[in-house]
């Protein structure tokens, strides 16, 4: 919760509910040989700061199956990254952005990390969830690499390289719609990168014939969020929309109100704090053979004062901060969207 609390401490008092910051949703592991490998079980843990997943896979065929296991992140648009606040590590130039760790059958797995520059396809969301993030648009990595432009999230580093490029290459990038004028300074001669970067963690995995393979991975969580105000019963349209989207019922609505009242708010601006929107793409599990044999979900809201709401039938509170649910022979009908509300913390 340290990053979340630090962010809340810096929120200005008159901020409104539409003041937000970007973050990352996450997908499950994907694999090309889906008909041959079934997901026997998935144990998923989600908290504001960390995500951990334990899988048991079984090769249902009589032959070994080898292929690339991929964990893709959604595209991060560099223009958006520079123009707005993002909940990301301070050092965005580091190769392993999420401190991603994986083990296979209890042994540490070496994981490759690709940075891919893309022009996003606006229709990518129409594709199956198992490939939306893996193929989010046109790959322009080779073009940028030939020009010496790094495939990084460090916008200042990219702009420094762009400033040194000859006019012919700058014009080529401009004609392709890959750079734009600085939106806040018309006199700034250095263009802004307008492409997106996709991070993909991956390794080559062999699933032995007829046997089970246990895979675990965990990484730092950086969800998107916003300054948050709310009232219960919900009266405004956006509040009713939130209640529908996150299945906020009476007890949860009242808990949200008590969470906001616990913060450093004043009467003039009402009760307010912050909302984090934790998202996890469950439907990638549908790319494996058959349903998930056993699915176990643990949600940890980080602090008892925080409020949590999610559309997940059967979820039960098991401790002051944790909620759990178990399902068998389960095919996820939709992705996971979690609303986490925290009070504003004084500096």
How many Cα atoms sit within 13 Å of 218 on the Cβ side? 13
pLDDT of residue 269: 60
Instruction: Judge whether residue 87 has pLDDT over 70.
Output: yes
Instruction: Judge whether residue 1 has pLDDT over 60.
Output: no
pLDDT of residue 128: 57
Q: What is the mean pLDDT of residues 5-18?
A: 43
Instruction: Judge whether residue 227 has pLDDT over 80.
Output: yes
Instruction: Judge whether residue 340 has pLDDT over 70.
Output: yes
Integer Rg of the chain from CA: 22
Tens-digit pLDDT profile for residues 147-206:
999 999 999 999 999 999 999 999 999 999 999 876 655 666 788 899 999 999 999 999
Instruction: Judge whether residue 301 has pLDDT over 90.
Output: yes
In the chain, alpha helices (H): 2-9, 78-83, 129-132, 141-146, 155-162, 167-175, 237-245, 250-261
Q: What is the DSSP string of 19-62?
A: -EEB---EE--EES-TTTEEEEEEEEEE-SSEEEEEEEEEE-SS
* The dihedral formed by the CA atoms of 261, 266, 269 and 270, expressed in degrees to the nearest 10: 30
Q: What is the 3-state secondary structure (H, E, C) of 174-195?
A: HHCCCEECCCCCCCCCCCEECC
Is residue 341 very low, low, confident or very high in pLDDT (cuts 50, 70, 90)? very high
Residues 6+ apart with CB under 8 A from 70: 29, 30, 31, 134, 200, 201, 202
**Cα 313 to Cα 295: distance, rounded to the nearest angstrom:** 13
**Cα 102 to Cα 163: distance, rounded to the nearest angstrom:** 39
pLDDT of residue 189: 73
pLDDT of residue 188: 61
Domains of the chain: 2-140+195-343 (2.60.40.3680)
Rounded percentage of the chain residues whose pLDDT exceeds 90: 61
**Cα 84 to Cα 118: distance, rounded to the nearest angstrom:** 20
Q: Which residues pair with 279 in a beta bridge?
A: 337
pLDDT of residue 130: 52
pLDDT of residue 16: 40
pLDDT of residue 327: 97
pLDDT of residue 243: 93
């Amino acid at each position: 919760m340290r990053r979340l609390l630090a962010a809340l401490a810096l929120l200005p008092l008159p901020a409104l509910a539409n003041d937000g910051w970007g973050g990352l949703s996450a997908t499950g592991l994907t694999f090309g040989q889906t008909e041959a490998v079934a997901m026997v079980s998935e144990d998923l843990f989600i908290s504001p700061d960390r995500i951990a997943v334990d899988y048991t896979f079984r090769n249902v065929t009589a032959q070994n199956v080898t292929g690339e296991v991929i964990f893709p992140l959604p595209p991060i648009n560099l223009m958006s990254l520079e123009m707005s606040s993002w909940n990301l590590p301070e050092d965005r130039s580091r190769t392993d952005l999420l401190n991603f760790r994986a083990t296979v059958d209890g042994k540490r797995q070496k994981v490759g990390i690709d940075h891919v520059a893309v022009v996003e396809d606006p229709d990518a969301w129409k594709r199956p969830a198992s490939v939306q993030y893996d193929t989010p648009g046109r790959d322009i990595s080779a073009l940028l690499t030939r020009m010496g432009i790094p495939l990084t999230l460090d916008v200042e580093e990219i702009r420094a390289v762009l400033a040194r490029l000859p006019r012919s290459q700058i014009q080529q990038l401009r004609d392709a719609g890959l750079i734009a004028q600085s939106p806040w300074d018309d006199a700034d001669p250095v263009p802004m990168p307008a492409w997106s970067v996709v991070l993909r963690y991956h390794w080559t995995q062999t699933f032995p014939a007829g046997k089970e393979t246990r895979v675990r991975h965990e990484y730092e969580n950086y969800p998107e969020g916003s300054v948050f105000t709310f009232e219960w019963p919900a009266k405004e349209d956006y509040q009713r929309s939130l209640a529908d989207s996150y299945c906020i019922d009476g007890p949860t609505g009242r808990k949200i109100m008590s969470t906001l009242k616990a913060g450093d708010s004043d009467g003039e601006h009402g009760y307010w704090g912050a909302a984090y929107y934790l998202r996890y793409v469950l439907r990638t599990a549908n790319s494996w053979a058959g349903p998930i044999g056993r699915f176990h979900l643990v949600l940890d809201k980080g602090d008892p004062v925080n409020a949590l709401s999610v559309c997940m039938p059967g979820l039960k509170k098991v401790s002051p901060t944790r909620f759990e649910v178990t399902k068998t022979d389960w095919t996820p009908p939709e992705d996971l969207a979690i609303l986490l509300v925290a009070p504003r913390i004084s500096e």
